Amino acid sequence: MCPAGTDNVRVLLAGAGVRGAKWARVIAEAPDAILTGIVDLDEARARRARDEHAPDAPVEREFASALAHVAADAVVIATPPDSHHSLVSQAFDQGLDVLCEKPLSDDMDEVLDLIARADEAGRHLLVGMNFRYLPTSQRIRHYARSAELGALSYGHFTYHRQRDGNRHDLNDYVMTMPHPMLLEQSIHHFDLLRYCYDAEVESLVCDTWRPSWSTYEDDCCVSVLFRFENGVRANYLGTWTAAWNRMDFRWRTEFEGGALIQREQFGDLVRVDFDRGLGLRGSNFKGDAEAETPVPETLTPCEAFIDDTRGLLAEFLCAVRGEAEPVTTARDHLKTLLVVQACIESMEKGGWMKLHAIRERFAVPDSGGS
């Protein structure tokens, strides 16, 4: 993680809903940032965040008015996706660096336009992929990159959540948006697969569907088979409509020398050292008593949605101060959005989709820049 700087960065926050409230706390508590203003069309929400975290910060209803009246170096945008293109563009027009929540947009042309605008303005544009900074994610990435357990071979990622969209402490817009699971939740999981496995998707096949008791208008079950460019395979099932209220997260990765199994969404990562010879001894279908014993990975304690967001904010502040090149950029996010786009096309057309074909169709340059 980037170390705290000596210069305070003045950060304006747009959106004080479910996610914005977390951002307000994280920015206000950062040793090297000042929460310099809070904007929300629902002013009561902005005032609540102000009262809890930054009593001196001005509150505004309109983003344009806040840009005109509040002195800031950078903006964090935590409003619904359909407002991102407009708000990010306005921030660049004022010469500010931006960190915007995901998805940057559900429209690929808007995403490409924002990347071009960032380049023209010479500003940073980062995206809210905070789960990269969970200790579990960092550890999986370490194993994938270091080959400490040998070469990575394949992964199996499952996320079963009964997320009732009618809860008062959840946002409303996802109930009616197209592809809510893909664009709001699976997008994080696809980003984690890319980031932790340090590999890009070569092709995929996807199916999505809507169980009868779902509270979402569009599909909220997503199943994908991935082939990565380095030959790694992954099998994904994610849903917001389950028939058990217990959150059930499991991400298992097989390496040549053993397995990593993450058994909870924000922790409980265990490592298995593979004993090849054991396959010839004992019973054919081994239980806990006979198989290799999983060993818990020692991880730094982490408050979900707060400590991971702190890591992302630190990356952003370092970039704003010009101390380090960011990695969680819009250009990087574009690769995750291309995966989402490939899923939608695979589901609509049926069959395997090659990522390079979609990249070429949207005229996405190969790499580089922020």
Ligand X SMILES: NC(=O)c1ccc[n+]([C@@H]2O[C@H](COP(=O)([O-])OP(=O)(O)OC[C@H]3O[C@@H](n4cnc5c(N)ncnc54)[C@H](O)[C@@H]3O)[C@@H](O)[C@H]2O)c1
The smaller minimum CB distance to ligand X, of residues 78 and 114, is found at: 78
| Residue 89: CB atoms within 10 Å | 16
Residue 226's φ and ψ, nearest 5 degrees, are -110, 140
CB nearest ligand X: which residue? 17
Instruction: Give the residue ranges of DSSP H helices in 82-134.
Output: 84-93, 108-121
The smaller minimum CB distance to ligand X, of residues 131 and 226, is found at: 131
Residue 17 interacts with ligand X (CB under 6 A): yes or no: yes
CA distance 226 to 353: 10
Residue 231, sorted as left (phi over 0), alpha (psi -120 to 50) or beta, turns out to be: left
Of 65, 153, 171, 230, the residue at the interface with ligand X (CB under 6 A) is 171
One-letter amino acid of 78: A
Residue 180 interacts with ligand X (CB under 6 A): yes or no: no
Structure tokens at 110: 């808007």
Least gap, CB of 317 to ligand X (angstroms): 17
Least gap, CB of 109 to ligand X (angstroms): 18
- The site string for ligand X over 35-74 (x = CB under 6 A, - otherwise) reads ----xxxx--x-----------------x-----------
Least gap, CB of 233 to ligand X (angstroms): 27
The smaller minimum CB distance to ligand X, of residues 195 and 255, is found at: 195
Least gap, CB of 259 to ligand X (angstroms): 27
Structure tokens at 29: 């508590």
CA distance 24 to 357: 40
The H or E element containing residue 313 is helix 307-320
Q: Within 268-307, which residues bind ligand X (CB under 6 A)?
A: 305
CA distance 158 to 235: 8
The smaller minimum CB distance to ligand X, of residues 195 and 305, is found at: 305
The smaller minimum CB distance to ligand X, of residues 254 and 307, is found at: 307
Residue 152's φ and ψ, nearest 5 degrees, are -70, 135
Least gap, CB of 308 to ligand X (angstroms): 8
Least gap, CB of 339 to ligand X (angstroms): 16
Residue 161 interacts with ligand X (CB under 6 A): yes or no: no
- 107 burial (CB, 10 Å; 0-12 / 13-18 / 19+) is middle
The count of chain residues that interact with ligand X, using the rule CB under 6 A, is 26
Least gap, CB of 296 to ligand X (angstroms): 25
The H or E element containing residue 154 is strand 152-160
Give the residue among 92, 140, 193 at the shortest CA–CA distance from 299: 140
Binding site for ligand X (CB under 6 A): 14-20, 39-42, 45, 63, 78-81, 83, 101-102, 128, 130, 171, 173, 184, 305
